[in-house]
């Protein structure tokens, strides 16, 4: 069994370096790393050429460069290239929690073969602060995004064709998982009591900063899937609260911004969490270039 790790990057050489280092340090090279660079203008390409031999010494790496229609269009293109059984999306700037993540993933997937999507705990990182989070039950996926996409391992068979709608620039993943839940896909959630986190999620990514667009897309997806029934009660409640906050934004600009941010977090990112302490194990050094 092999795992396909898919990474999309554009003009984020520092984040890409962080991601690749965490992949290289895995103690089980049972993976294939696909990297899609959307014609970056920084040093991403030269860095990839320099580090390619380190990855290929264990797992395999496939690197492609070219323009695309956005992050989800690039993800769709990479899904078509995958020949492995399972897929993990690890965006530029995100990284594995430790050096044994791939080993834990393979071991877990072996015992959960009937599951279409296996969701692991993860760590949310923002401004130097780390917060540990576990997924909520998948039955709530129709009312909110119950997990971090980077902590979800999906069967490649569920991602054939065009799994992500490119007309959603931020919440296409939530739209996809809503369609999966409605179609009867099997989800398995692993809590902190069962397993360690597998990924450290970079909170400075696209989906963590563009709150207004997230709100608009959440409304569109809710109507598209008719989520305003019993299953969408919590979503409807939070959207109503947010609706009544917007008209007063001109009077309470700063206060409203934080209230809107809080309610959107409840809608899209309401997960169980606790404070996280970083492990004290020594960090693995980056391999030095041979003479």
* Tokens (6 digits) for 25: 């340090």
Q: Is residue 17 situated within a structural domain?
A: yes
Q: Which residues, in sequence order, are CB contacts of 291 under 8 Å at separation 6+?
A: none
Report how far residue 11's alpha carbon sits from residue 65's, in angstroms, rounded to the nearest whole number: 12
Structure confidence at residue 254 (pLDDT): 45
Handedness of CA 75, 113, 122, 263 (dihedral sign): positive
User: Within a domain: residue 285?
Assistant: no
Can you give the CATH number for the domain in which 42 is found?
3.90.550.10
- Report if residue 36 sits inside a domain: yes
Q: Which residues make Cβ contacts (< 8 Å) with residue 160, sequence separation at least 6?
A: 79
- Torsion over CA: 195, 116, 31, 5 (sign): negative
| Cβ atoms of 144 and 235 closer than 8 Å | yes
Q: Is 284 among the domain residues?
A: no
60 lies in which domain range? Answer: 3-275
Sequence-separated (6 or more) residues with CB below 8 Å from residue 174: 141, 145, 218, 221, 268
Q: Crossing angle for the helix pair 13-24 and 44-56, nearest 10 degrees?
A: 0
Task: Specify the number of domains making up the chain.
Answer: 1
CA distances from 78 to 64, 144, 236, 263 (A): 9, 26, 35, 33
Residues of the chain with pLDDT under 70: 50-59, 193, 204-211, 227-291
Flag whether 258 is in a domain: yes
pLDDT of residue 156: 94
On whether the CB atoms of residues 75 and 87 are closer than 8 A, the answer is: no
Q: What is the pLDDT of residues 22-71, one digit of tens each?
A: 988 888 888 999 998 887 888 777 777 766 665 554 567 788 877 788 88
Residue 192 lies in a domain: yes
| Residue 290 located in a structural domain | no
For residue 129, is it within any domain?
yes
């Amino acid at each position: 069994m092999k795992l396909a790790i898919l990474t999309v990057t554009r003009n984020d050489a520092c984040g890409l370096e962080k991601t690749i280092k965490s992949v290289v340090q895995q103690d089980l090279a049972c993976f294939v790393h696909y990297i899609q660079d959307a014609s970056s203008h920084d040093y991403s390409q030269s860095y990839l050429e320099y580090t390619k031999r380190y990855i290929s010494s264990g797992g395999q790496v496939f690197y492609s460069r070219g323009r695309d229609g956005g992050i989800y269009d690039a993800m769709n293109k990479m899904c078509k290239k995958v020949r492995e059984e399972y897929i993990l999306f690890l965006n530029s700037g995100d990284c594995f929690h430790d050096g044994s993540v791939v080993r834990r993933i393979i071991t877990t997937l072996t015992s959960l073969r009937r599951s279409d999507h296996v969701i692991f705990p993860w760590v949310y990182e923002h401004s130097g602060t780390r917060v540990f989070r576990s997924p909520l039950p998948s039955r709530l996926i129709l009312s909110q995004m119950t997990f971090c996409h980077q902590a979800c391992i999906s069967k490649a068979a569920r991602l054939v064709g065009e799994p992500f709608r490119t007309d959603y620039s931020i919440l296409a993943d939530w739209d996809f998982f809503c369609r999966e839940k409605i179609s009867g896909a099997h989800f398995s959630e692993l809590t902190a009591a069962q397993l360690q986190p597998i990924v450290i999620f970079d909170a400075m990514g696209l989906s963590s900063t563009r709150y207004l667009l997230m709100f608009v897309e959440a409304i569109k997806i809710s109507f598209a899937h008719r989520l305003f029934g019993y299953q969408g009660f919590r979503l409807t409640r939070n959207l109503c609260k947010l609706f009544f906050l917007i008209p007063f934004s001109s009077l309470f600009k700063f206060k409203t911004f934080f209230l809107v941010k809080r309610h959107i977090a409840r809608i899209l990112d309401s997960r169980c969490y606790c404070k996280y302490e970083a492990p004290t194990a020594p960090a693995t050094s980056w391999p030095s270039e041979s003479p």
